[in-house]
Structure 1
Amino acid sequence: MLFYFIALLVTLVDQGTKIAVRMYMEVGEVMRLGDSGMQLQHYENSGMAGSMFQGNARLFGVIAVLFIAGMLYYRHKGEIRGFWMQAGAGFMVGGALGNAIDRFVYARVTDFLVFPSGQGILNLADVAINIGVVMIIIGMLIRAYQRYREKRLRNALPKG
């Protein structure tokens, strides 16, 4: 249930923020958020990360759907289990679905988050995908450590 809850929540929050940006900000409009250096800027991206391959939004939407199908398949197979893996996959699927909805409905993705580091312009779906990747890596490291400990324990037991 954790996987589906996170995926649904991410999708709804992502779509809600994008609707608000489209309703209340003109394309190109910038809004500074205090002294943090962070700002909102309404940008419409018909390509992919870094504004590459403009005009191919629906193609990237198909790729997102294939990614989601793959994640559902591996989850059904039991490959994605445990808190970190389930939550990470939920964040990634929710983010992919949020951007896929934009790509199919509007033929572009609404971006609006500009961080002080200057690493481009993102939306909450992009942030969720990044969070999901980090959580999956943590889950993989935990699983590898547990296997290592089990192997060490088995080798330490007397044989016979």
Structure 2
Amino acid sequence: MKQRLADYVFLFLVASAIVALDQACKLLVRVNLMQDEIFHPELWVSQYVRFVHLKNSGAAIGLLPGFGDIFMFLSALICVAVLYYYARIPHQQWLLRLSMALVLGGAVGNLVDRMQQGYVTDFISVLNLPVFNLADLSVLTGFILLFFDLWRKEQRKGMTQNAAPKGGESGNEEHSGRNLTSYTSLEDARSG
């Protein structure tokens, strides 16, 4: 019980930190930059990263503009799904729990924007990529960690299947005409 409570405290602390940071950054952008205004930080960084105030009524990175209500519903659905699924994650699977916390924090961050303003404030422009915000970055990072965790489990599963004896062998059968279980030491096996 205490372990499960600690897991949920972790979920809500990480998600709350993401929401707070995301909302604080969006507020700074809305207060200090006019719509579509671009801020170039230090000279050497500005060729890679810029801050621009964009109103996004669509999905992450500006996809499907004008479908804000649908994305508000999807964000709420993602939050419910994360909370439901999180209860089923074993405590030892910290990477999976972290990925769910990142997804929840990002989904809530953008959901707050949609509920308060009807759109999401995007402000990070890197190279020529679409403009995004910290909530988008959190969701993306969460899904990357989720897929990495699934890939890692598949790799481990494949390694254990390859290490297991094939064709129903138990590993104690005859090998080269000798019964391996009858030896008491490596030296006996070599001389046998």
TM-score by length of 2: 0.74
Kindly tell me the number of residue pairs found equivalent between the two proteins: 159
Relative distance call for 1:93 and 1:61 in structure 2 (3 A) is: same
Q: RCO (CA 8 Å, sep 6+): is it higher in 1 or 2?
A: 1
Distance 1:100 1:49 in 2: 12
> Are residues 159 and 6 of structure 1, via their aligned partners in 2, closer, same or farther at CA, if it must alter by over 3 Å?
farther
Q: CA RMSD in A?
A: 2.2
The structure 1 residue matched to 2:25, chosen from 17, 21, 28, is 17
Separation in 1, partners of 2:138, 2:91:
17
CA separation in 2, counterparts of 1:90 and 1:142? 19
Change (3 A) 1:151 1:3: farther
**Residues of 2 paired with 1:81 and 1:48: CA distance?**
33
Q: Find the structure with the greater CA-based Rg.
A: 2
Q: Which runs of 5+ in 2 are unaligned?
A: 1-6, 174-192
Give the alignment of 1:71-150 within 5 angstroms: 71-78=82-89, 82-116=93-127, 118-150=128-160
Alignment-derived partner of residue 158 in structure 1? 171
User: Equivalent residue of 1:42, what SS?
Assistant: strand
AA in 2 matched with 1:39: R
Q: CA deviation at 1:55?
A: 2.9
Is the Cα–Cα contact under 8 Å of residues 74 and 80 in structure 1 kept in the other structure?
no
Where does the alignment leave 5 or more consecutive residues of structure 1 unmatched? none
For residue 73 of structure 2, give the secondary structure of its aligned residue in structure 1: helix
Name the aligned partner's letter for residue 40 of structure 1.
F
**Residue-by-residue CA offset, 1:15-66 (whole Å, 9 max, x unaligned):** 1111111112111111112222210001111122343433322321111110
> Cα gap change, 1:94/1:134 in structure 2, threshold over 3 Å: closer, same or farther?
same
What TM-score comes out, normalization by structure 1 length?
Answer: 0.87
Q: What percentage of aligned pairs have identical amino acids?
A: 21
Instruction: Give the Cα–Cα distance (whole angstroms) in 2 for the partners of residues 69 and 150 of structure 1.
Output: 34
For 1:131 and 1:80, the matched residues in 2 are separated by 20
- CA distance in structure 1 between the partners assigned to 2:143 and 2:52 by the alignment: 25
